[in-house]
Structure 1
């Protein structure tokens, strides 16, 4: 997840249910809404893992065998 995903959640909330014409008529100031913890939590639910469980297992075995830096 990045901050952009979370910050877009506030904008999505603002335009939800509006027609394209209504969205075009919203001022920039109205679209700049604060990002909330709820926005971050919603963004987290949309993110997929970038490292698999098997990769983590391989890493753990490597650390046990060779140690860390």
Structure 2
């Protein structure tokens, strides 16, 4: 019952998956998704440059 194996067992390697075959509708959907992500990234960059919304921030009343 003495074994030279110690420590954690290594997992078996998984075979590499083949490239998927995409038809025209899949390619169109992937391209549309990429375009939407690009547009969202541009909008985020534009929004971060402007700063806070409204510009002036909180207004304080004159009452004491």
TM-score by length of 2: 0.28
TM-score after normalising by structure 1? 0.26
| Structure with the larger helix share | 1
Q: Work out which of the two has the higher radius of gyration on C-alpha atoms and give 1 or 2.
A: 2
- If asked which structure has higher relative contact order (CA below 8 Å, sep 6+), I would say 1
